[in-house]
Structure 1
Amino acid sequence: MYCLEFAGDAVDEPMAALEAERAAASGVERVAPGLATARGLRIDRAPTLAYTRRASELIGRTTADVGGAVAVLEAASIDRTGSVAVRARNVRSTADVSTAAAERDLGSVLVDRGFGIDLDDPDHELRAVFADDVCLVGWQVAERDAEFGSRAPTDRPFFQPGSMAPVDARAYLNLAAGPALPEATVFDPMCGTGGLLLEAGLIGARSLGSDAQWKMARGAAENLAHYLPDARWDVVRGDATALPFDDGIADAVVFDAPYGRQSKIAGHELEALVGGALGEAARVAPACVLVADGPWEAAARDAGWTVEARFERRVHGSLTRHVHVLRRA
């Protein structure tokens, strides 16, 4: 069993759980605010998750108090040696517990068992995570890159306003292509500046994109060449409703539809554009994530998709993203 510590806010947790299950874990069950357990874990894939901050091999679960955590550790069989650091966390301050006391008392148990304490570069890290009335104790096995969220779209060689944040792009890619990663081909038929394609390449997938505007296709290629000089990627100019690609060319399609009901791209009204793109997506891949400023379930079903989930994510006062997780019917 494993402990998963989610990033983001409470409203992000359903999507975080599904992202983890699709891309790295099995049997994911949310057990407390910001916390879940998993029956299995692809440890090598866990650091590529967007909304899972850390994963630990679970030692035990108890009530959210220091004494309970100490009892779990004292009862555990430990086949590790070397140095250790103990980290305690009170998720969103939902538990009535002292993390300093937890670190001190758990550290004393490990010292009694022959471990040395090294807070800077330990051989092992023990985590005690408290949330609400639950405490999960485990050995950390994976951690998301601390610099991941600091990359900004404005840092790219080619930038346009409205570009998606990397953390969201990464999550949508994992939702769509997770089971096939890292040996996946991911296609974005409305690639814009290439943010989704960039995240696909960074987690090992082959990126394939198209855009109706030459400016965007060239800009996306510039960004991918800058960040992924040795990766597999291709970008072309193309109409999302009539793609110049063979059936089944990709493992997953991910795209961010234009916002605003009056949007017109390449001569298409928005409804015709999104509906046509969904139909072409079903031809080229078995899985899709559509991001839009409203619900498109009916159009997705008409195009041959089963809607497995839809999440609403508020970006700012005037924009809520609707994330549709689709599987070809």
Structure 2
Amino acid sequence: MYLLELGGENEAFALQEAASAAADVRPIAPGLALANAVSPERVRGLAYTHRASDLVGRTDADPESAQALLEAASLDSDREGTIAVRATDVHGSTGVSTERVERALGRVLVDRGFSVDLDEPDHVLRATFSEGRVPTVDDGRGDRVSVCALGWLAAESVRDFGTRAPTDKPFFQPGSMDPLLARAIANVAGARPKATILDPMCGTGGVLVEAGLVGADVIGTDAQWKMTNGACENLEHFLEVDAPSPAGVERGSWAVGRGDATRLPLADDAVDGVVFDAPYGRQSKIDSHRLEDLVAGALSEARRVASRAVVVADRSWASEAREAGWELEASFERRVHRSLTRYVLVLSGDEA
């Protein structure tokens, strides 16, 4: 069993992304979830899960209960080397003194024969405290809980997204998606080594960059030469590097060309997942009827070439997605600012 430490403002969306790297994900408290299994390599590439730890146990959210849990735990006899304890109070919700917790649990481990190294430990024991309503994958809230969970750190996500801020890329256009969201929707769409991800409205290529950095091969099209040329510039800059990506995998290959999202030059079921950021009505130069035809056509073509898709837009295109043959797996709303809310639709097709 593994403990996941979530991040981001929308925990339901974080749970959706976490499921791309873990099995049977279920929330237990604000910012915390459990999973039956995880892929450490894929956890490194998550945007809204910060850490995965091999669960020792969970108890009430107070230092005394945490200490009693660790004292009673059966610790791995083969966990050799030095240790350190890191405690976190999620959102400051419990008010526990994390320093006090770290000292108390450290003493327990020393008494059990471990050596402490606070700077470069071989193993880290995570102690996470959280109190509040349990988040759910449908954006609802369950019962109020107070939880402390202990676990040995197994994997951490690589927090390098600031190095790919839209304005710092070789090619930039206003309205470009931030790399955190781009990584998350790429993961939800199925980006991983040996998978192929398509963005038929690729713009500056931000989603393709993030999908490629977690090992997926990526294909992009856009109706404007300016965008395809700029996307090529960004993809070449970030993916054609002779070194493993920060996520610890080989970067994926890429191909970008000018094309029509409603008439893709691809065979049926040619890709594993489709992602696109639909034109926003008030910001787009496309009139409303043409926009509806474009998105409906893109949804239909996406269904032809893949069995999974993630669509981002300034409105919900759920009815159009269903008409195109998609099942709505999940839907999220992400407020950008007062006049813009992003809708994220997770779509799945009938494998039969």
Whether TM exceeds 0.5 here: the answer is yes
* 1:71 aligned to which of 68, 72, 75: 68
Query: In the aligned structure 2, how far is the partner of 1:16 from the partner of 1:164?
Result: 17
2:281 aligned partner, one-letter code:
G
**1:118 matched to which residue of 2?**
117
1:312 is matched with: 333
Q: What is the percent sequence identity of the aligned residues?
A: 59
2:42 is equivalent to residue 45 of structure 1: yes
Task: Name the residue aligned to 1:17.
Answer: 15
Letter in 1 for 2:47: A
What aligned pairs does 1:114-263 form with structure 2 within 5 A after superposition?
114-132=113-131, 133-177=146-190, 181-229=192-240, 231-260=252-281, 263=284
Contact persistence 2:5–2:33 (CA under 8 A): yes
Change (3 A) 1:6 1:163: same
TM-score w.r.t. the length of structure 2 is 0.89
Paired amino acid for 1:210: T
Cα 1:100/1:293, change in 2 over 3 Å? same
C-alpha distance after superposition, 1:72-95 (max 9, x if no partner):
111112221211110000000111
Query: Aligned residue pairs: how many?
Result: 324
Quick one: distance in 2 between partners of 1:274 and 1:35?
Answer: 36
Separation in 2, partners of 1:105, 1:147:
33
Please give the alpha-carbon distance, in whole angstroms, between the structure 1 residues aligned to 2:128 and 2:156: 14
Residues 150 and 227 from structure 1, CA distance in 2 versus in 1: closer, same or farther, beyond 3 angstroms? closer
Q: 1: distance between equivalents of 2:262 and 2:318?
A: 18
Distance 1:261 1:247 in 2: 33
Q: How does 1:53-68 map to 2 (within 5 A)?
A: 53-68=50-65
Q: Deviations over 1:110-165 (max 9, x none)?
A: 11112111111100000100001100000000111132345301111110010000
Q: Is the 8 A contact 1:64 1:96 kept in 2?
A: no
**Structure 2 residue ranges without an equivalent (≥5):** 132-145, 242-251
Asked if the contact 2:85/2:125 (under 8 Å) is kept, the reply is: yes
* Structure 1 unmatched ranges of 5 or more: none
Q: 1:273 aligns with which of 288, 294, 311?
A: 294
Letter in 2 for 1:287: R
Tell me which amino acid in the other structure corresponds to 2:213: L
Aligned to 2:80: 81
Is the 2:281–2:288 contact (alpha carbons within 8 Å) kept by the matching residues of 1?
A: no
CA–CA distance in 2 between the matches of 1:150 and 1:32?
Answer: 31
The aligned residue for residue 30 of structure 1 is 27
Alignment CA distance shift 1:31-1:150 (3 Å)? farther
Deviating beyond 4 angstroms after TM superposition, the runs of 4 or more aligned structure 1 residues are 264-268
With 72-81 and 193-202 compared, the bigger mean Cα shift is at: 72-81
Label 1:265 to 1:235 Cα distance change in 2 as closer, same or farther (>3 A). farther
